[in-house]
Structure 1
C-alpha cells in the first residue's frame, strides 16, 4: 500500500478512529489484497488497534 495510505491508517489507529480505519479499508485496499483487509478488520473487531499501530509504524515502512 502507498506510504500516504499507511500514514493515514497509522493516524486513525492512534486516535482509535474505527470509522476512518474501516473507510480506508473499504475505499482503498484493492480486491487482490483481500487478505490484508481481512486481517486488519479482524484486528479492529477484536480491539487489537495496537497491532495496526505496530504494523504502520514509520520505521516499518522503509
Structure 2
C-alpha cells in the first residue's frame, strides 16, 4: 500500500473536535443501517467493504484529503508466494472448509491456528498461507478455498 498523508480541512470555529462514528458491521439489512444511525452513528458500512469505501467515508466526515506517494513498481521478491492448488488439495476437506469459513469471518487468529496444522514438510505452502494472512489477503484465501 502506498504511503498516505492526511491533510486536515477547515477547522471548527469553536475549536471543539467532533467525534465521528462510522458503524462497521456484518449486518447489511436496511433496518440495521437505520438502527445504527438512530443510536448516534454518523454513517454505516456493511462487510465486506473495500479500503477505498472506508477512506471515502473518513474523508467525507472529517473533511480530509489524501495525498498519495507515487506508486513504486512492486519488488517481485516482496510479493506473497503463490499457493499451488495441488498443495491445497492434499489437505482434508474439513480443514479447507474451516479455512474458508475463517477467511469469510476475517479471523486471522483462526487462520494461523489452521496453518499450524499443515504438515511441516509443506514449508512453501505454510509460507504462502502465512503471507496471505499477514498481508490481509483473506478474500484471496476465501476464493482459493471455495469448495
TM-score (norm 1): 0.87
| Structure with max Cα Rg | 2
Written as runs of structure 1 = structure 2, the 5 A alignment for 1:1-62 is 1-26=91-116, 28-58=117-147
If asked which structure has higher relative contact order (CA below 8 Å, sep 6+), I would say 1
Partners of 1:19 and 1:47 lie apart in 2 by 12
Could you tell me which runs of 5 or more consecutive residues in structure 2 were left unpaired when the two chains were aligned: 1-90
Partners of 1:35 and 1:54 lie apart in 2 by 19
Deviations 1:40-59 (A, max 9, x none): 1101111111110111001x
Could you tell me which runs of 5 or more consecutive residues in structure 1 were left unpaired when the two chains were aligned: none
Cα offset, 1:8, TM superposition:
0.4
TM-score (norm 2): 0.38
Q: Which has the higher helix share?
A: 1
- 4+ residue runs over 4 A deviation: none
Q: Which has the higher strand share?
A: 2
Q: Give the superposed CA RMSD.
A: 0.7
Q: How many residues align?
A: 57
Query: Aligned with 2:125: secondary structure?
Result: helix
Query: Aligned with 2:122: secondary structure?
Result: helix
Partners of 1:47 and 1:30 lie apart in 2 by 23
